[in-house]
Structure 1
Amino acid sequence: MPAADPAAVAEARAKLDAHAVETVQWHFHESTGCPFWLEKKKELKFDPLTEVHSYDDLKKFPEFEDEWLRGGPVRRWVPQGLADKPVYVFETGGTTGVPKSRIAIDDFRTDYSNFSETLPDKYFPVGSNWLMLGPSGPRRLRLAVEHLAQHRGGICFCIDLDPRWVVKCLKKGQIDHANDYKKHCIDQAITILTAGHDVRCLFGTPKLIEALCLELEERGTSLAECGITGIFSGGTEFTPQWTKFCVEELFGGPAEESGVYMTPTYGNTLMGLACSEPVTKENGYKITYHAPEPRAVLEVVDFDKTDEVVGYGETGRSKLTTLTKEFFVPGFLERDEGEREPPHTMYPWDGISGVRPFSRLAGGTTVGVY
């Protein structure tokens, strides 16, 4: 992959440093800050308003704790500078107890409007309708994909999917029930795709895209024949092996041959959306993600010394920092691991490849439909 220009890397870093300072000033100033951080400020051993001069200074904050995002009152996260705005609350999957929740106002729209700029119009035609084949309910993803469709001039069709029910089935060993539910979701999707709605673009999780392709094949048709030209998908199960199988077996070849283009993404409720470097047969379908800096930063850190990034090509845990006016999360240790990758020409900051569930926690996580 082409290396990033050193000047572009330096410029991106300077932008991140300035953005980090600006974000901290917002969240810790009495007139604009959120109740959670204004209260937490009393416990800190430093003054964020006077002692944060760069992104690296965020290491002065204690490790962000999972539990801070579980339970309420959720309004403690709403910055006073945005208190008069309509507020959404989005939840994580809830696979590990009480779901983590975060407030949102426009972040999900901003993230997906920015992501829209990376989609090739040839395969994601402006004005096309979309199908959202993923989790609904209290999750950010449904509204985000809907906004993406609207931002590009289309209308989004959504299926009804509750992954928490799938998780319950799997934990009870009710594999048949889980598969029945997956079939129920696929049936909903095929109903939409065959109803004359001119859907050209699709979001789906890897398991659901595979199930959709296989069911369409069983019915004597395919995604391409249903009119789909552009797919974006995400999740830790988006592997080079699965991508190769998908492109070569399910789609019928690369986009130039099959007419179906797919791009992977890596996102979550806290971060937003990380974009992928181009994934091709020539690079072994390797998938490398870059966070949407300066709004969010992903670092690959040592498993034990979590303030230290590992070397390029080395394995570590994913550490997230969110830096928007709506939400400030310094140094959140994700439930994922991967390899640190160097800056890219398109994204002149570090990336992460081989994203997978964190090995020391993986046994306690039920991936479900993702």
Structure 2
Amino acid sequence: MPSPANPILDLPYDVQPDPDEFLQAAMEWHFNPETGSPFWLRRAETLDFDPRTEIKVHADLRRFPDVTGELRHVRAEDLIPRGYGPGPDIVGVFESGGTTGAPKRVVLTRDWLDRMVAWSNANIDAHGFPRGENWLGLVPTGPHIVGEFFHRSATTHGARGFTIDLDPRWVKKLIAQGRGADAGAYALHLLEQAEFVLRSQDIGVLTITPSVLERLAGREDLVELVNHKVKAIRWGGTQLDPDSRHLYKTEIFPDVAICGNYGSTMILGFAGERAGLPDDEPCVFDPLSPYVTFSVVDPATGEPVAYGDRGQVLVSHVSKGFLLPNNLERDLATRLPANGALVGDAVADIAPVATFEDEPVIEGVY
């Protein structure tokens, strides 16, 4: 039988836990020999502190080392907390995009997926997304976690999900080899497939990456088709510059609800665009705090930058199903205050760093 967890770890998505009480309960869960994962129980032996007694507030998470590189090699089974028992409800094992070498892997539990999707559905409700519509997603599927989140969103907020598979690894390889024309041809291939679906099916919500959306916006026939059929566009991945966002919302798709999300595999989800922002202001992203928290830091010192300044995004994921604190992402952002009394930062103006882990960062179709 699964070991009992502190009830604060299982609160509904819309009940905000006390962040310190939640963090301490999570540390007990992940580092108790009866409930923690084999990976973190082994890793605890190498730490110079005891997480169960010394990690008490959000700032204490900075004491953890960044272990994301180890996720390239660890057995997936070793990442599952023992407290879930012998038959854990695991949705799948998912991989990063492989931007900086061999992909990293995470394990997605059913309870975390349900929490993330419920929170996300509420976020797009606030942006005016209609419920009960068919969704079309030009998103990575296969080993990529975004495909799973797309399908769950499409079938819980919408009705059905139609997908056009997008392979970011192949596009990045083409660009790295100087085959920009081939990468462009691949993007056109994606749009051709999307057009077949849009012309033949009732699609109310379009999920797309900023790069592919830019190409779609350059096709007058597709713009007309989207404006005729689609009621909402959700863009996701990393960056969409403020000028393009303003142009999409006010001129190209003026009657379509548009909002974005910022996510990655290491987050095990995404942050949602803050509702109510003026069209001509930067897009601000708020994570599902205290489960996912952002800090914006000076990469040279690791210290937080001032509000309004730019730095590198540091992410911590602390949930019942997974623990990944102190993960330095490959993105730069402007640091902004969190929404309300949430712990951590909000972020805006996302852009990739030039190099990460000594490898050039190629965004490709993201």
Q: Could you tell me the TM-score, scaled by structure 2's length?
A: 0.88
Q: 2:274 — aligned with what? A: 277
Q: CA deviation at 1:220?
A: 8.0
Correspondence 1:333-352 to 2 at 5 A: 333-345=328-340, 350-352=345-347
Q: CA deviation at 1:79?
A: 0.9
Letter in 1 for 2:272: C
Q: 2:160 — aligned with what? A: 155
The whole-number CA distance in structure 2 between the counterparts of 1:203 and 1:166 is: 19
Q: CA deviation at 1:219?
A: 6.1
Aligned-partner SS, 1:223: helix
Aligned-partner SS, 2:217: helix
Q: CA deviation at 1:65?
A: 3.0
Q: CA deviation at 1:37?
A: 0.6
2:107 pairs, out of 74, 95, 103, with 103
Aligned-partner SS, 1:50: helix
| Residue 78 (1) aligns with residue 80 (2) | yes
| Residue 263 (1) aligns with residue 259 (2) | yes
Aligned-partner SS, 2:165: coil
Q: CA deviation at 1:278?
A: 3.4
The whole-number CA distance in structure 1 between the counterparts of 2:281 and 2:192 is: 30
The whole-number CA distance in structure 1 between the counterparts of 2:326 and 2:69 is: 14
Measured at CA, do residues 232 and 347 of structure 1 come closer, stay the same or move farther in structure 2, by a change above 3 Å? farther
The whole-number CA distance in structure 1 between the counterparts of 2:262 and 2:223 is: 32
RMSD, aligned α-carbons? 2.3
| Residue 368 (1) aligns with residue 358 (2) | no
Q: CA deviation at 1:36?
A: 0.6
Letter in 2 for 1:151: T
Identity %: 30
Q: 1:191 — aligned with what? A: 196
Q: 1:132 — aligned with what? A: 137
Q: CA deviation at 1:248?
A: 3.5
Letter in 2 for 1:29: N
Does the CA-based 8 Å contact 1:213-1:222 persist in structure 2?
Answer: no
Can you list the C-alpha shifts for 1:274-326, whole angstroms capped at 9, x where unaligned? Answer: 122236556x23111111101111011122221x3222112221110101111
Q: Could you tell me the TM-score, scaled by structure 1's length?
A: 0.87
Aligned-partner SS, 1:149: helix
Q: 2:30 — aligned with what? A: 27
Number of positions where the alignment pairs a residue of Structure 1 with one of Structure 2: 347
The whole-number CA distance in structure 1 between the counterparts of 2:137 and 2:94 is: 17
Q: CA deviation at 1:54?
A: 2.1
Q: CA deviation at 1:176?
A: 1.8
Measured at CA, do residues 121 and 280 of structure 1 come closer, stay the same or move farther in structure 2, by a change above 3 Å? closer
Letter in 2 for 1:163: P
Does the CA-based 8 Å contact 2:295-2:345 persist in structure 1?
Answer: yes
Q: CA deviation at 1:346?
A: 9.2
